[in-house]
Amino acid sequence: MSQELYNRPASELSQMLARGEVSAVELMKSVAERTRQVEPRVHAFNSMDEADALAQAAASDQRRARAKATGSAVPALEGIPIGIKDVISVAGQPLTASSRMLENFVSPYDATVTGKLKAAGAICWGRLNLDEFAMGSSTENSAFGVTSNPWDLTRVPGGSSGGSAAAVAAGEAIASLGSDTGGSIRQPAALCNIVGLKPSYGRVSRYGLIAFASSLDQIGPFARSVEDAATVLEAISGHDPKDSTSLKLEVPHYARGMAELVKSGRKWKLGIPKEYFGEGLDPEVEASVQAAIGEYKKLGCEIHEVSLPHTKYAVGAYYIIATAECSSNLARFDGVRYGHRSKDAKDALDLYFKSRAEGFGPEVKRRIILGTYVLSSGYYDAYYLRAQKVRTLIRRDFLEAYKQVDAIVTPTSPTPAFKKGEKAANPLAMYLNDIYTIGVNLAGLPGISIPCGFTSSGLPIGLQIIGQPFRETELLAVARAYEERNTWRMQFPKL
């Protein structure tokens, strides 16, 4: 496929913009035109505001011209259209969480990440589809239709950030933001042949992200290259006085730091957790991941088998902690101040019952009920408290492994993209799709998924690399060392 503007990585487009070979408006038009063509088949967007995006692009061109005239620096993402998952607030734009509950809600304020992207010159483009309130692994739980995997339109793009992944894969955005609570960035990135990064918990402000599970949620980028992911991460990271869980740590120059590490030819020590290569792992996925590990060996990296013995408890602990937090986080959607309000409520209690019954989809309800149960008096110690203890053990497993290795390499998802409807009726099978990604959230670690091949039927396969807390630069460098040696990311779906 020819290299259209909309299919190029941000790093390349930035250079073209800097050289004046293309304007931000031209780039935005190319992306919008591409979106018009493929969106009826992909359905990555809940909504888009092309006029607003073009106005942002025009403003970007003006800023660039002014910077040129005054000789001042141009920010890293100047003029780059970046899609935003429809669970992250953009002032004046809809914020639906793909839920009937917020179908007509327009958010009056910018999320911290949105503000940071704008400050870095990016064009906030579109509201990207997701599983309702980010609960799901296929984007089938959206109230506004399923997103298709651009590589096979009969299959899901993964989730919950399926729209964010599909948009970048299909050329409808140059990069995008998603949120990752149990794999919601890494798994769809794997299923769509792009890069998806979940930063360390506390690296990126959550202010303006509709909370699913506060202690697990983290915003991160989807991109066409590790370098692009590093650039977006750098733009959105940092302490935010509006989020007490964001850490007061200096933000490194990720892209530059990563490039220097790669150039130094550092020989990484990589851990392969035996618990991640067992039952349920698709053989083609396993083969691709093993091949990638082989590439690292060729680079001179040391490969060690490591053990993460509490892995088997991760899914259970995750679904207790995440649902407990979500049952409380979603209590605010009650039809009183905003959002769906049932027409025929008799009193306040009835208003809650009806508005929530009508506004929430089945998976959201299932999780609220589960979470309410595990927090109930008499069950708290047996479920929530125990799950928190498991969580500590899981983090300890990882930190123990990091005494021996620099990073851990695993499959991102046990299978490639599955058929729409295939797992929709079986929540447990769906939950198990996150088996390799959940531990990272429970442990608060950074993790990245990068393309590592295709199945015989042409479905993308992702490689997950898990880093040490707040060591994203090293994580990116490990990912880049592999990415350099293959062309997986340069393949695009035929749409």
Partner 1 sequence: MTYEAVIGLEVHVQLKTRSKMFTRAAAGYGHPENTLTDPVVLALPGTLPVMNKDALDKIIKAGLLLGCEIAPVCKWDRKNYFYPDSPKNYQISQYDQPICKGGSVEIELPGPARNIMGEHKSVALTRIHLEEDVGKLNHGDGASLVDFNRAGTPLMEIVSEPVIRSADEAFAYLTALKTVMIYGGISDCDMEKGQLRCDANISIRPVGQAALGTKVELKNLNSFSFVRDGIAHEIRRQTAVLESGGKIVQETRDYDGQTGTSQSLRSKEMAHDYRYFPDPDLMPVEVDQRWKDSIRATCPELPFDRQRRLQAEYGIPYTITSVLVPDRDLGDYFEEAARLSGKAQAAGNWITNDLLRELGAAKKSLSESKVKPVHVAGLVKLVEEGTILSNAAKEVFVDMFNTGDLPEAVVARRGLKAETNLEDLERWCAEAIAANPKSVADYKGGKESALNAFKGPVMRQAKGKADPKRVDETLRRLLAG
The yes or no reply on residue 106 touching partner 1 (CB under 8 A) is no
Which entry of 89, 160, 176, 225 is annotated as an active-site residue? 160
Query: Which position among 23, 30, 89, 184 bears the catalytic label?
Result: 184
Task: Please give the structure tokens belonging to residue 468.
Answer: 């040490």
Nearest to 139 by CA among 176, 102, 166, 114: 166
Instruction: Decide if residue 338 touches partner 1 (CB under 8 A).
Output: yes
* Among positions 65, 119, 348, 382, the unique one binding partner 1 when judged by CB under 8 A: 348
Taking the complex as a whole, how short is the minimal distance between the CB of residue 131 and partner 1, in angstroms?
A: 16
Contact 193, 489 (CB under 8 A): yes
For the CB of residue 201, give the shortest distance to partner 1 in the complex, in Å: 10
Is 160 known to be catalytic? yes
Please give the backbone phi and psi of residue 169, each rounded to the nearest 5 degrees, phi first.
-65, -35
Q: Of 215, 342, 486, 491, which one interacts with partner 1 (CB under 8 A)?
A: 215
In 107-217, beta strands by DSSP E = 123-128, 175-180, 195-198
Sole binder of partner 1 in the list 37, 49, 109, 432 (CB under 8 A): 109
Residue with tokens 């994580």: 475
* Identity of the residue, 32 or 95, whose beta carbon is nearer to partner 1 in the bound complex: 95
Quote the CA–CA distance of 422 and 430 in Å, as a whole number. 9
CB of 49 to partner 1, least distance (A): 19
**Among residues 119, 249, 331, 357, which is the contact residue for partner 1, using CB under 8 A?**
331
Q: Where are the beta strands (DSSP E) in 117-258?
A: 123-128, 175-180, 195-198, 218-223
Cβ neighbours for 3, distance < 8 A, ≥ 6 positions apart: none
Residue from 28, 53, 210, 401 touching partner 1 (CB under 8 A): that is 210
Least spacing, CB of residue 229 vs partner 1, in Å: 23
Among 1, 20, 369, 380, binds partner 1 (CB under 8 A): 380
Q: Does 322 bind partner 1 (CB under 8 A)?
A: no
Identify which of residues 128 and 306 has a Cβ nearer to partner 1 in the complex: 128
Q: Determine, following the binding rule CB under 8 A, whether residue 277 of this chain makes contact with partner 1.
A: no
Asked if 213 and 370 touch (Cβ cutoff 8 Å), the reply is no
Residue 124 CB, shortest distance to partner 1, in Å, is 15
C-alpha–C-alpha distance, residues 235 and 233, integer Å: 5
Between CA 422 and CA 357 the distance in angstroms is 26
The DSSP code for 274 is G
**Minimum Å distance from CB 375 to partner 1?**
4
Length of the chain: 495
Alpha carbon distance 164, 126 (integer Å): 10
Sign of CA dihedral 258, 223, 89, 141: negative
Please say whether the beta carbons of 364 and 99 come within 8 A.
Answer: yes
Residues linked to residue 409 through DSSP beta bridges, in sequence order: 465
> 102 or 173, CB closer to partner 1?
102
Q: Cα 95 to the chain's mean position, in Å?
A: 17
Cβ-count burial 118-151 (b if 16+ within 10 Å, e if not): bebbbbbbbbbbbbbbbbbbbbbbbbbebbbbbb
36-44, 105-113, 248-256, 407-415 -> range binding partner 1 (CB under 8 A): 105-113
Q: Are 426 and 464 in contact (CB under 8 A)?
A: no
Catalytic annotation on 246?
Answer: no
> What Cα–Cα distance (Å) separates residue 126 from each residue in 36, 39, 310, 421, 491?
12, 12, 40, 26, 24
In the list 102, 128, 229, 255, the residue contacting partner 1 (rule: CB under 8 A) is 102
Smallest distance, Å, CB 291 to partner 1? 39
The verdict on 381 binding partner 1 (CB under 8 A) reads: no
Site string for partner 1, 384-403 (x = CB under 8 A): x-------------------
Minimum gap (Å) between residue 444 Cβ and partner 1: 12
Of 209 and 401, which CB lies nearer to partner 1 in the complex structure? 209
> Angle at Cα 453 formed by Cα 232 and Cα 203, nearest 5°?
25
Asked if 148 is an active-site residue, the reply is: no
In this complex, which beta carbon is closest to partner 1, that of residue 11 or of residue 214?
214
Find the binding residues for partner 1 in span 231-260 (CB under 8 A): 241-245
207 binds partner 1 (CB under 8 A): yes
| Strand pairing class (45-47; 407-411) | unpaired
> Which of 376, 392, 404, 426 touches partner 1 (CB under 8 A)?
376
Instruction: Give the interface segment with partner 1, choosing from 190-198, 203-211, 262-270, 406-414 (CB under 8 A).
Output: 203-211
Minimum gap (Å) between residue 342 Cβ and partner 1: 14
How many amino acids of this chain bind partner 1 (CB under 8 A)? Answer: 45
Among 33, 67, 105, 393, binds partner 1 (CB under 8 A): 105
The order of strands in the sheet holding 195-198 is 45-47, 123-128, 81-85, 175-180, 218-223, 195-198, 447-454, 460-466, 407-411, 269-273, 302-306
One residue of 263, 337, 343, 403 binding partner 1 per CB under 8 A: 337
Q: One of 60, 85, 89, 138 is an active-site residue; which one?
A: 85
Catalytic residues: 85, 160, 184
- Provide the binding-site residues for partner 1, judged by CB under 8 A: 87-89, 95, 97, 102, 105, 107-109, 111, 206-211, 213-215, 241-245, 324-325, 327-328, 331-334, 336-338, 348-349, 352, 372, 375-377, 380, 384
